[in-house]
Amino acid sequence: MYVSQTTRFVHNVLTPVLTPGGVAVDATMGNGHDTLFLARTLGPQGRVHAFDVQERALERTRRCLAMHGLADRAALWLAGHETMAERLPADLHGRIRAVTFNCGYLPGTVRHGGRGQDTDQAVITRPETTCRAVRAALDWLAPGGLVSLVLYSGHPGGQEETRAVEQLCSDLDLAAVHALGCAPLNHPAPKTRVIFLEKK
């Protein structure tokens, strides 16, 4: 499953719950693709809160939103997603329509002295903070809202995070949350998992 196809798939599933004027969270800002999608879909009165620990991610996301004229629709937080409960405005509790996670490391390249270098892959999302963030996301989610998690196991630390998140989701109370997992079935070495959590 290619990343671009995975992203389209996730966005198509999320779109029905993103009512105009609503609020959503991008828990892993990265290059800003999910932030842009959420801002566009929620419309002029909507609001997105996006989190990342890397200044580079904030700058890329800020440029992406500005290029599309949507900079005023998002609050960008230089903070880990596990801190969302401490940073989101209190009146949003129970009103978040969707929370997106795209785990792993910041993709892309940066330029140093005219040479392209890979983004620092040592800065990754981690099991303990991601699981804490998923619990917070469910707590702040509106009834009928969705959490989406795209998990990659192909990089160092990715398998551990995938296992931890899948275990957390498997243990959720069915009376409160419906958890659905998706993965390629005919790929020789599938490295991508997608999980959706619907709050009842």
Taking the C-alpha atoms of residue 4 and residue 12, their distance in angstroms, rounded to an integer, is 12
CATH code given to domain 3-199: 3.40.50.150
Identify the pLDDT of residue 196: 98
Phi and psi dihedrals of 48, rounded to 5? -120, 135
Mean pLDDT on 100-128:
65
In tens, the pLDDT along 19-70 reads 999 999 999 999 999 999 999 999 999 999 999 999 999 999 999 999 999 9
pLDDT at 184: 80
For the segment 112-140, the average pLDDT, to the nearest whole number, is 75
- What's the rounded mean pLDDT across residues 170-184? 95
The residue extents of the domains of the chain are 3-199
- Please check whether residue 16 is in contact with residue 90, taking contact to mean a CB–CB distance below 8 angstroms: no
pLDDT band at residue 109 using 50, 70 and 90 as cut-offs: very low
Nearest residue to 88 (alpha-carbon basis) of 25, 131, 33: 25
Element (H, E) at 58: helix 55-67
Residue type, position 3, single letter = V
pLDDT reported for residue 111 = 39
pTM here is 0.89
Band (pLDDT 50/70/90 cuts) for residue 108 is low
| Tokens matching residue 14 | 């999320």
Distance, CA of 51 to CA of 44 (rounded, Å): 20
- Cβ burial 158-196 (10 Å sphere, 16+ → b, else e): beebbebbbebbeebeeeeeebeebbeeeeeeebbbbbb
pLDDT band at 189 (very low <50, low <70, confident <90, very high): low
Helix 158-170 and helix 127-140: axis angle, to 10°? 40
Q: What is the pLDDT of residue 122?
A: 65
DSSP string, 20-33: TT-EEEESS-TTSH
CA atoms within a 13 Å half-sphere pointing along the CA-CB vector of 51: 25
Reply yes or no on whether the pLDDT at 114 is more than 50.
Answer: no
Token pair for 197: 């959590």
Query: Residue 183: its pLDDT value, please?
Result: 86
